[in-house]
Structure 1
């Protein structure tokens, strides 16, 4: 990929690109409690950006400040070059979709979708055209005469999305938009939401506590904790290269081992850990003897009944204590000889009865991993 194409696909990599949304030093306090603590953020035009974090981390408060429903205690932000400090919510180039959908039960789908346009004084003929166009986009044109109680959860979600999009905002703010759907429908709707966002080209900012949802939907993710950003990056960067124990542990599953740096050179680090010596083939500026942490994803570990051919780092021996069968993968909880518990996941490529080397409870097993798999964390 050329540098120019990389900048088009990932404008945040272009040092000359102008952010569409700029957040600078935003803080929000409720009495003595600081919900959002002096955060900076750049979001680019056309992104599907996720604010990810647990309950009470500040993500919804930040979204509400962008919408104008809350006023920051300090700091500023702009949208498309316009400062929003003195712009009331109803005049901002944003629209918001809530988790509850908040559909009017007495109105049909088409009247729900067109309500905001009617309140804004848009001519009736234009309302009809715009409503029909947006209902086609979300594939609800055959449901426009129905009322909310006659819709499924997924259909209600799309009506709420259509109502938010029909006013053609520059930014659509979505607060846990798929939270009311069951798991299967939520997974299906994630891809529908991505396709719709790509078609309309509007910048989406999604708040979610669901790591899998954020990883699936977003161009980039901001992981929030205690009112601040722990890390901002693409899903791949967040998962494969977390910058702290919090991010490594919050995104997906991981094994975290504490240790001391035994050897450091330009292209590798060796760490003595509770799981044995760990060799990492990507260097990092740390001192010998420094206390560090190693994150190792369960799917990066190979599990066998046979011992490795040669002794060395990045291997351990233990006993299978628990097995969790999830269909596509199985989770093995292995207790090492020193008592440390390690989770290992393995794909179920064949049915259990057809496996020639089936691993079961209370069996001795050997763990190994490549030098590129561990992640060195200093915080």
Structure 2
């Protein structure tokens, strides 16, 4: 079983990945003459599968019926009239030629960028940990796993990664003395239950969404945006599902009956630098604020830059200029004004508990209120039922 699994992994490694290995090569060394900017209609096009397999009068760049006779392979290896030409600044190395030839002989398939391909669950060996199998698949030949660390080292690494702090001595001692099969998992659960887990992990998110306690421009006064920071910490500590984490930040106020938590989450939209400097043009800063929001959305939620699309549609960018402004229109409908008035709080504003301790007390009061309302509703329903029974007897 082990030998079979290793063989399967090695076989998969030999398949050429178009998006990662071939597209960068073609883009760097071939697209200048055979890419999107090609002006001649009869010239070989390598930027699309249709162009590469098109009949150009007796030959094709990639011949699906005779892969080894494809014009790319023929011309790459032609000593008299090679491609790229002998005087081209960028030449293919022998290894790159072999890689392209192997790709064509495997079918010459084109593929979208991996980020736009729906993920598929891979087949994994039944023995061992699935994460180990996925990691091993990426190892170069001859590279193996490091020696397993001792439990104290593992505990320290886990604590630093999850909470940003070394493990508490009592927690470490408990883990080292725990002989149960699931001791490792139990230790992780304890770290995840630590409030400092949310505080540490929130730092990464707050950096990405450009959180700052000041306006960020000109006078750079303080602003009362910290409830959003505290909400992110709570969301992580409470394991808020990722779909709600995203939805509430982008449209918490658009829920049918938005809660205070959902309204606070929309602080994401107000993380942009702001100003009230005397010479600014409000319409200009409204546009700048919305540019910032749109591009931050692309970075943190889509994992891609959208900055270029602000000014033009580029042949290699997946987002067009039209799509950019369609997305920006969503932010252009917010009720916030373009200038902050150099105030600590500027409209729209909601009042919330001042810190996490006060927030916890407030949640207890809300829970008590809901409990009393539920009891009152139950009493009211019982009274109605009693009246109905009396009517049936006497009327």
TM-score of the superposed pair, with normalisation by structure 2: 0.24
TM-score using structure 1 length: 0.24
* Structure with larger RCO (C-alpha < 8 A, sep 6+): 1
Larger radius of gyration: 2
Instruction: Report which of the two has the higher share of helix.
Output: 2
